[in-house]
Structure 1
Amino acid sequence: MKILFVGESWIVHMIHTKGYDSFTSTKYEEGATYLLACLREQDIDVTYMPAHEVQVRFPQTLEELQAYDAIVLSDVGANTFLLQNPTFYQFQMLPNALELVKQYVSEGGGLLMVGGYLTFMGIEGKANYKNTCLSEVLPVTMMDNDDRVEMPSGFSPVVSRTHPLVENLGEWPRLLGYNKLTAKSEAEELLSHGGDAILTVGKYGKGNTAAFASDCSPHWGSPEFMNWKHYSDFWSNLIKYLKYAA
């Protein structure tokens, strides 16, 4: 199985103040290194596209996207796809990348969105996926604005219905937050917390879709979750579901 995993990267710009003087430093980080290693160990061929590369390297045609069995979007907002460099700086007209993803799923591709500060609606509503065509594709209904639910004391999702993706996993480890989502009526809510959908699967056209409301890495993805014995199997099975589910 071959997937395109997009996002889970960021640049931190810091100001160090030491008495009268200060200086700046910058560092680049990636959050999905462990997850991607787990997927590759499960014989999933991963092409990783960090968030900052989307604006210059995201596929421009449906045929390019169809080289992959599934696309995973994690912690990268809609603006990154809609305001690519040639459009924002050179005012060029380009194919709408999210419309391409919608068509890709409709024709049989898989799509998973993973929660975070810049997925679904995200912090201050800046991820803004509800106001894009992917709101039709995803198996969940999003809020209108900031959808973060911070849980500093931790919470464990509970199984909402019997399904192979969540069977035999035992009690879930605690997570530190999630995006507030509601499963669409035609979708299957598999994990929940307090009436909110944590894991939802569905279909759009010929393709399979999934939404995981919490994170695959810190900070919402707690050390307890990252060290969970079922971590690798859960993610690999979820991604394989996007291709193989009937």
Structure 2
Amino acid sequence: MKILFIGESWHIHMIHTKGYDSFTSSRYEEGATFLLDCLKKASVDITYMPAHQVLIEFPTTLQELNQFDSIVISDIGSNTFLLPNKTFYGLEKTPNALNLIKAYVQNGGGLLMIGGYLTFMGIEGKGNWRNSQLAEVLPVEMLAYDDRIECPEGVTPKALLRNHSLLTSINNDWPVFLGYNKVMAKENTETVVDINGDPLIVLGNYQQGKVACFTSDCAPHWGSPQFLQWESYTKLWLNILQAISKTN
């Protein structure tokens, strides 16, 4: 499989105050490193595009996207796709990245959205995917406001379709998660696993393409250490990607 993985990166800016004086520092982090390393070890061909690179490097033609079997969007808001530097700063017309992704799926490509603070609606609704072109494409209905369900006590998923091919070779003893994005599955989709009575893994179709949602995190903080250490961690992601891959 050849995958385009987008998002799961951030810059942190800090103010250190020591009495009268203060100074600033910053650091850059990528949250998907563990997952991407696991997939690479399983011979998945990964092209990783951190969030800030989307603003300047996202493909501008459908032909460029068609080289991938599926696209993964994780913890990155719709604005990053809709406000590239050339448009926001240079006032240039540019191809709409979300229209390109929609067309890519229409023509048989796979799309997976992974949960987080800036996917689905996200914190304070800033992910804003409900009002984007991909709302029609994804297999879930999103809320109109902040959709985070924080579970500091931990919440354990439950397999609803235990015999589904997505759960082949998956340990049914699921680890806890610390939160997720609340969504509703659309008609004619499959909720394979739920969490706290809400969908966790949903599969569907959009025209010729296959789509999926994983409504919690692939990494901390919602993705607990127990999840990353779970014996079925890599296999679960492989099964999801294989299920939506256009080579399937």
- 2:219 alignment partner in structure 1: 217
2: distance between equivalents of 1:245 and 1:83?
32
- 1:164 alignment partner in structure 2: 165
- Matched AA of 2:15: I
1:4-83 to 2 correspondences below 5 Å? 4-83=4-83
2: distance between equivalents of 1:146 and 1:65?
30
TM-score, with structure 1 as normaliser: 0.98
- Matched AA of 2:196: G
2: distance between equivalents of 1:203 and 1:126?
26
- Matched AA of 2:102: K
1:67-216 to 2 correspondences below 5 Å? 67-161=67-161, 162-167=163-168, 168-216=170-218
Per the TM alignment, residue 229 of structure 1 is displaced from its structure 2 partner at its CA by 0.7
String of CA shifts for 1:153-204, please: whole Å, max 9, x gaps.
0011101123121244212100000000111111100111233111100111
Per the TM alignment, residue 102 of structure 1 is displaced from its structure 2 partner at its CA by 0.4
Per the TM alignment, residue 244 of structure 1 is displaced from its structure 2 partner at its CA by 5.8
String of CA shifts for 1:110-162, please: whole Å, max 9, x gaps.
00000000000000000000001101100111000100000000011101123
Per the TM alignment, residue 237 of structure 1 is displaced from its structure 2 partner at its CA by 1.5
TM-score, with structure 2 as normaliser: 0.97
2: distance between equivalents of 1:241 and 1:37?
20
Q: How much is the aligned-residue C-alpha RMSD, in angstroms?
A: 1.1
Kept in 2: contact 1:87–1:94 (CA 8 A): yes
- Matched AA of 1:59: P
Kept in 2: contact 1:98–1:134 (CA 8 A): yes
**Unaligned ranges ≥5, structure 2:** none
1: distance between equivalents of 2:99 and 2:197?
31
Kept in 2: contact 1:5–1:49 (CA 8 A): yes
Count of equivalent residues: 246
Kept in 2: contact 1:55–1:85 (CA 8 A): yes
Per the TM alignment, residue 245 of structure 1 is displaced from its structure 2 partner at its CA by 8.0
Kept in 1: contact 2:4–2:47 (CA 8 A): yes
**Unaligned ranges ≥5, structure 1:** none
Task: Look up the SS of the partner of 1:81 in the other structure.
Answer: helix
Task: Look up the SS of the partner of 1:103 in the other structure.
Answer: helix
Kept in 1: contact 2:36–2:46 (CA 8 A): yes
Per the TM alignment, residue 240 of structure 1 is displaced from its structure 2 partner at its CA by 1.6
Task: Look up the SS of the partner of 1:165 in the other structure.
Answer: helix
Q: What is the percentage of aligned positions where both structures have the same residue? A: 55
Kept in 1: contact 2:155–2:196 (CA 8 A): no
Kept in 2: contact 1:156–1:171 (CA 8 A): no
Kept in 2: contact 1:150–1:178 (CA 8 A): yes
2: distance between equivalents of 1:145 and 1:181?
11
Task: Look up the SS of the partner of 1:210 in the other structure.
Answer: strand
2: distance between equivalents of 1:229 and 1:171?
10
- Matched AA of 2:122: G
232-241 vs 176-185, greater mean Cα deviation: 232-241
- Matched AA of 1:211: C
Per the TM alignment, residue 6 of structure 1 is displaced from its structure 2 partner at its CA by 0.2
Task: Look up the SS of the partner of 2:124 in the other structure.
Answer: helix
- Matched AA of 1:160: L
Q: Runs ≥4 in structure 1, deviation > 6 angstroms?
A: none
Task: Look up the SS of the partner of 1:234 in the other structure.
Answer: helix
